Structure formats: C-alpha cells, structure tokens
Structure 1
Amino acid sequence: MTANAAGAVWLTGADGFVGGWLRRELAERGRQAAALVLEPARLGGVLPAIRLDLAEAARAAPGQAVIDLEALPPPSGLIHLAALSHPSECAADPPRARAVNTVGPARLYEQILDRWPDLPILHVSSGQVYLPASAPRREDEPVEPVNVYGASKLQGEAVALGLRDRGHRITVVRPFNHTGPGQDPRFALPSFALRIAALERRGGGELKVGRLDAVRDFLHVRQVAAVYLELLARAGEVDVVNVCSGRGRAIGDLLDGLVTRSQAAIQVVPDPARLRGAADPGVLVGDPGRLRSLLGRVPELDEDALLDELLADARVRVEAGEDLTRA
C-alpha cells in the first residue's frame, strides 16, 4: 500500500521533549500529527494517539503486530523519537536500553513497512555514536560510542540502515545537543536553570556541578524540530545526516551565562558525585556540511535568547512546585 502524502505525520515519543515541539511545529504548518506513546491518555485527546511500548515490542516475535495500524489516520511519514535517552538511565539497565533503542524499533518498522513500504521514515539516533575528538565529527568518520546510550543508538541505526539497504525511504539523523523550555531536569542546562531558580527563591546559595570543561554543539529544540520536518520530506536521499551547528560551546560558559542572569548570589561548587567519568566525552561537535548540502543552510543558535528562555521557564516550573530531586 502506498503512503498517503496528505496524511498525518506519525510521531513515536510525541509526548516527550522534542515530540512536544514537533507537534507545535506541525500545528503551525497546518499539518496533522498522530502519536505513538507509552501513555496515550497523557495527551488528553488533543490528537490521535495509540499505545506503543518499545520494551514490550522488543519481546514480540518477528512479524508479530506491535501496534494497531487501523487506530490512527494513514501516515504521510514517521519520525521515530521514542527512546531511553538519558545516558545514566541506559547505563543502569543496558538490556532495557537495547530493547527500547534497538529491538523495539525493529519490530515497529517491520510492521509499518509491511503495510506502507514507501513510507518516509526519519530514524532519530544521536551524536553520541561518535568517537569524541577535537575536530567536528563527519558522518563518514568512525563511530565508537563511549557509553551504553550511544552503543544502543548505534545498534538502532544498523536496524534502520539495513531496511534502507532493502529499498525503504529511511534516513538516520544524528542530533547533537539540543535544549529549551520543558526539557527533563536531568540534562545539564535545565538542571542548572532549575536549581538557580530554586536558589533565587531562597536568596542565593551554592550550586553543585560536575564537569564544566566539556564542549558540546547546542541547538534550540525548536530549530531541531523544524529541521526534522524538512529532512522527513527528503527521507531516503542520504543514509545519515548530522543535525548540528558545527560550533562547540563549553558547558561552563553556558553556566556562567545563566548565573549572570540570576537575581541572587550563586556560588558554583564542584561536586565529584556529579562526574560521569569516561562516559562523559570531553568534546563532541558535529560537522554540518551534509546538512547544509541538503537544506541549503545550517541552523545557528541564539545563545542569549536560549539562556533567557531556559531561566524564564525554570522560574515558572519552580513556582509551580516541580520536583527537582533529579536535577
């Protein structure tokens, strides 16, 4: 059966951080989204949604149905976002990381492509599949993950690229760091912003931090969502493409920007308990050359606007009583 070009964009993980921004982006473009998520009720009926448990799907036999294809409007494309995405969570349970990030997607793709073999698919991997190095990483350079998360995502890439080799319209995207309002507090920048906002309410204090000399390639999540939709329209044209800016920023410099914006006195204090050792690469920056050749441009981060948004969002979340135990 041929995919419906006017159909809905199916999003796994539509209730997650990037998924929420993608739903906004689709709505602004007048396009329909459909969600494949662990708990459809959490979306409140705002869009068509069905249950997808990738760990459960991983236990299915090859060829066994893992979702109800008839419960959603026909798709025009699929963006696979759902993952076990925090490195520490993957390190704590490698079998679950492999189930969710590798085997579950394989079973999902098998069923969907059996019905719609020409469906455009964007398989979201990670820049953490690369061997860290001082120079920006290109798609044709060696991949050598330094943590369980990156390894499980690389195995997921093998699934997607194997299907691409069989003629399906699949492109793997390797996003580097992206952040913005609403991100999980376990990630560095929202963690900093949320704890700074909490300290502001107490009149200031100490902010305990881990490694600050690490260099990352950041984009705003809004930019990443827009790029994903543009790349979905060209799925299959290339095998792998980085989603990045090509510019590295030190975590410590971004933290300095947040502290400068604080309305209270903040003392930054090193905390060995927050260090992740070899699982936390020193420099990880992407080469955006292939992205530029596809889209004719490369997204550029407005750092000041991002830091303003992160802290404003953090203040709202702290005021609302968000639990910061994981920050």
Structure 2
Amino acid sequence: MTSRVLLFGSSGFIGAHVRAALEADPDVTELISPGRDRYDLVDGDRAGLIALLREITPDAVICCVGRLGGTNEELTRANTLVAAKLLDAVEAAAPDARLVRLGSAGEYGVVPHGHAVTETDPTEPISAYGLSHLAGTRLFALAAAAGRVDAVSVRVFNPIGPGQSGENVLGRAQLRLREAAQLGSSEIVLGPLGAYRDFVDVRDLAAVLRSVVLASALPSRIYNAGSGQAVTVRSAVQLLAEQAGFTGEIREHGSGAQRSAAVDWIRADIGRAEDELGWVPAVDLATSIKDIWSTGTPV
C-alpha cells in the first residue's frame, strides 16, 4: 500500500521517531510534516486545517501533538480539542484518509496490581491529563463507529529512548545525573520511584504507528503501545545511573507527576497489536536506557 502521509508534531520526541520510521518505509511515497509556522494544530482554526488538507490530499494523517502538563484548559485544548478539530476537518476535506492520534495509558486510571490492562478494560482517569486524552479517544471511536472518519487511537504507555524528553522521569533523571557529574555531587534528588511502569521504546512506538497507518484494514479503533512488562521506576533510574557511572545516592523526595502519582502499577496487554498488526516490541529496557544516556541532554 502506497501512501501520502501528513504528520503533525514531527519536531517532538515521539514525532521525530515517527517521522524517521515513515521516511524509511518504501510504502510511504510522500511525507509532509508542517511546522507551526505553516499550521499550528493547537491554535489554528478549523478553516486553516481544512485548507491544508485540501492542498495535501493525504491518505493518512497522524497527530503527535499534545501536552503532558499544564492547566485544565491547556490540556483540554491540546489533547481533546485538537482531536475534535482533526475529526471535523478530515471529515470535511479528506474523508478517505486514515486519522491516527496518540492517546495515553493515563486514560485507564488506577489498575489492579499485577493486571495487564487491555483496550476493553474500564477507563477511569484520575487526572485532567488522562481525562483530556480519554475524551479525544472517545471522540475518535464514535466517529469511526458512525463511519464518519477512519479514526484510530494508540494508547501510549511510558515512552523512552534516544532524545528522551525532560518532561518524563527518565529525562529528569538524566538531567540530574549530568548535573551531578558536572558539579561532582554525590547525590541526586528525584520524586518517589516506587511505582511500576511499562516503559516502551520510542522506536517501537514509531513502528506500531507505522503499522497502523499502513494497514489495509483495521479490526479495532484503539491499540495499546507498551512493552508488556512492568518494572519499578527505581530500577529503571538505577540502570540509567549505572550507564552514567554514577555511584552516589539517589534520594527520593517530594511528589511525583500529578498526571500519574496515584497510579502505582501499570502494564499494557499488547496482544491486540500483535494479533491484528503483527507488531511486537523489539527494543529491550537496557538498550533503551543505554541509548537515552548516549544521546545527550534531553529536550
């Protein structure tokens, strides 16, 4: 299947890897990645997006735009209203295009310890962040069920890898470790690290998005993208410290990120993506963490 793909958010941590994966795929005949100077997906109006879609006539549209933090209004604008705007514009100007967005594991909320969460499990987000993504996912699912738009959401668990964002815990840990090396400090301080997280390499995430975009038909409208494994954040930070050659103390103080602080366990069931897309993660945690450290300071 050949495809002309329109990708929003290609300058971000995830979007940059999605762009690289699509550029390397011979089935993608053209990849258009407009910057905010051409069209700002958060602040731009619906008419401008419709005009862009009519100009490009894409076979697929991918949204890697969103916010991890901010006010309720900012999260809703970036995660929910962007989804709504895309649905309306694609239906009006590119009704045959497949529309794909990034959702979040935060949509599930608190999960029983030891349970691998599936796409059909209850969704009870406990933060504005998770709720803003769940609203976008539900809008996509409703539009797809009604036959309005070929819309798909990929629920991303904890993405890590080269170019790791400083907005995530391993990105913050990398910054602290580099600061400690520069200052000769024997300790770093982070928030609580006891929670279990499912860390998925960003290159594996890019691969599943590529599969979603290029599949001839999709049986489902929501896919989990995780590693299928849960480890403590503490153990992941310790692996990063070992890569850095840091032998000092990793002190835990304060609170964690508001969007996930109350969730002490999360692990993805990735069987649907394997069964329907033929996708399985290929990069293990140790490799991801090695590559986080070797690629330098996060953005």
TM-score of the two chains, using structure 2 as the length reference? 0.89
**Which of the residues 148, 161, 166 maps onto 1:180?**
161
Question: CA contact under 8 A between 1:169 and 1:236: conserved in structure 2?
Answer: no
Match of 2:280 in 1: 298
- Aligned CA distance change for structure 1 residues 124 and 277 (closer, same or farther; 3 Å): closer
Q: How many Å apart are 1:65 and its aligned residue?
A: 4.5
SS at match of 1:79: strand
Match of 2:224 in 1: 242
**Which of the residues 173, 176, 183 maps onto 1:202?**
183
Question: CA contact under 8 A between 1:161 and 1:239: conserved in structure 2?
Answer: yes
Q: How many Å apart are 1:130 and its aligned residue?
A: 0.3
- Aligned CA distance change for structure 1 residues 67 and 14 (closer, same or farther; 3 Å): farther
- Aligned CA distance change for structure 1 residues 277 and 141 (closer, same or farther; 3 Å): closer
Question: CA contact under 8 A between 2:50 and 2:93: conserved in structure 1?
Answer: no
Distance in 2 separating the partners of 1:212 and 1:105: 32
Deviations 1:41-65 (A, max 9, x none): xxxxxxxxx31232444xx6xxx45
Within 5 Å, give how 1:231-310 maps onto structure 2: 231-234=212-215, 236-272=218-254, 274=256, 276=258, 279-310=261-292
1:80 aligns with 2:78: no
- Aligned CA distance change for structure 1 residues 206 and 12 (closer, same or farther; 3 Å): same
1:51 aligns with 2:51: no
**Which of the residues 10, 13, 21 maps onto 1:17?**
13
Question: CA contact under 8 A between 2:54 and 2:94: conserved in structure 1?
Answer: no
- Aligned CA distance change for structure 1 residues 191 and 72 (closer, same or farther; 3 Å): farther
Question: CA contact under 8 A between 2:211 and 2:279: conserved in structure 1?
Answer: no
Question: CA contact under 8 A between 1:220 and 1:301: conserved in structure 2?
Answer: yes
Q: How many Å apart are 1:19 and its aligned residue?
A: 0.8
Letter paired with 2:145: D
Point out where structure 1 has 5 or more consecutive residues left out of the alignment.
41-49, 323-327
SS at match of 1:54: coil
SS at match of 1:310: helix
| Residues paired across the two proteins, number | 293
Match of 2:192 in 1: 211
Match of 2:88 in 1: 110
Match of 1:144 in 2: 124
- Aligned CA distance change for structure 1 residues 36 and 225 (closer, same or farther; 3 Å): same
Q: How many Å apart are 1:7 and its aligned residue?
A: 4.4
CA RMSD of aligned residues (A): 2.3
Letter paired with 2:159: H
Question: CA contact under 8 A between 2:228 and 2:270: conserved in structure 1?
Answer: yes
Match of 2:101 in 1: 123
SS at match of 1:125: strand
1:33 aligns with 2:11: no
- Aligned CA distance change for structure 1 residues 280 and 33 (closer, same or farther; 3 Å): farther
Q: How many Å apart are 1:279 and its aligned residue?
A: 3.9
Deviations 1:212-269 (A, max 9, x none): 1111111110110011010112364312111122110110001111122233432111
1:68 aligns with 2:48: no
- Bigger shift: residues 131-140 or 260-269: 260-269
Distance in 2 separating the partners of 1:122 and 1:70: 15
Question: CA contact under 8 A between 1:118 and 1:169: conserved in structure 2?
Answer: yes
Match of 2:203 in 1: 222
TM-score of the two chains, using structure 1 as the length reference? 0.82
Q: How many Å apart are 1:270 and its aligned residue?
A: 1.8
Question: CA contact under 8 A between 2:110 and 2:262: conserved in structure 1?
Answer: no
Point out where structure 2 has 5 or more consecutive residues left out of the alignment.
none
- Aligned CA distance change for structure 1 residues 216 and 208 (closer, same or farther; 3 Å): same
Distance in 2 separating the partners of 1:245 and 1:274: 22
Distance in 2 separating the partners of 1:83 and 1:278: 16
Match of 1:325 in 2: none
SS at match of 2:224: strand
- Aligned CA distance change for structure 1 residues 276 and 104 (closer, same or farther; 3 Å): closer
Question: CA contact under 8 A between 2:57 and 2:94: conserved in structure 1?
Answer: no
Q: How many Å apart are 1:74 and its aligned residue?
A: 2.7
Distance in 2 separating the partners of 1:279 and 1:171: 28
Question: CA contact under 8 A between 1:126 and 1:174: conserved in structure 2?
Answer: yes
- Aligned CA distance change for structure 1 residues 72 and 26 (closer, same or farther; 3 Å): farther
